[in-house]
Amino acid sequence: MLFHTIPKHIDPSLEHLQYEELNDMSLADIIDICRERNLPTEGKKSQLISDLLFWKDHTVPIPAPSTPRLNSLSDLQNMESSTMTHQQDDRVLLNSKEFSLLFLDEDSPTGMDIPYGDLTFGKKIGSGGFKDCYQGIYKGEVVAIGELRLTHFGEFDLAEVKHEINVLKQLRHENVIKFLGVCTNPSHLCIVTEICTKGDLFDVIRNHPRPSFAQQVMYMYDIALGVSYLHTRRPSIIHRDLKSMNILISQDERAKINDFGLARIRPKANSLMHTQCGTPNWQAPEFWTSNPSYTEKVDVYACGLIFWEIMTWGAYGYPFQNLAEHALYVAVKQHDVRPPISKLTGLYPRNLLVLVMEMWETDPTLRPSMNHVVERLSTYLL
């Protein structure tokens, strides 16, 4: 017999649920309920519902295991940043009318040149590279304001920012961070976007309890939708630096792609890209060469690692976190090492684990397209 039966047992959370009510739930929600009771998660929705109804009438629930958590300095850093206010720094004044035209040309949508006086700065919520990010107000709405530190700002830095703005202003998708405009005051160059108040996925994993399976799948689905949008544009866009730190989570739990500083527009569908870049831990094997040739499948590989992070929810840290760069090269490029997935067997549907392993295949041609990933994930949300 599949289940150990005990007469007259009551499972309170299922007591009043009938087949019709369970059938109205998504497959992901049903899988969640099954996982909480250590029941099988493979099979059709109708079979899983039958198993649950049998459980409801005959069995004792087994408590779900506790979720391991990683210690993090994020809380301390967040406390410190919340007390900081916007400070005026010594700036290099670029006294030139061309400064505005450098970032917004005649092809830019109207209303994207934001006067500095229209921005209200709040607490500092992040910092990286040559940019500080603040929570702020623009036209009565809460926004994210990324102010670039212009002191010692070189020509290469300006070109990189110009590129990111040029990519961002083309994009309109609910799973891609929304670009609102740029402040081109010569002493205050700011990129203004929508704000995702929960922060990036990397920190969400470390600062919040493991969510339901349905929410985990929704994060993956959102990411897949956003990346699929980039890849199916004409011309298509390869992000090239996808990682959990570049996925933002909104207050309503939607995942959005961020940070297009390394994104590249692929001029033709059959053309190869040849620039090495990105964060090594999420880099596809084809990056690990002196003259790389790659397609949008590098993003598919990175998404596979992000999905693994979502499913493990911090239990194993981030991908290859204990490997130095050379060891990472040897492991990924030469020995096809991937993050541990065997311990996820039984916790997640086999088809989902197979999808992740397909996404991080060594041969890019064996990896599915992001459109295909969207289709596979959608089956859990029906």
Q: What are the catalytic residues?
A: 241
* Angle at 361 (CA atoms; ends 301, 315), nearest 5 degrees: 65
- Which residues lie closer than 8 Å to 153 by C-beta, 6 or more apart? 92, 130
- Nearest Cα neighbor of 100 from 165, 38, 156 is 165
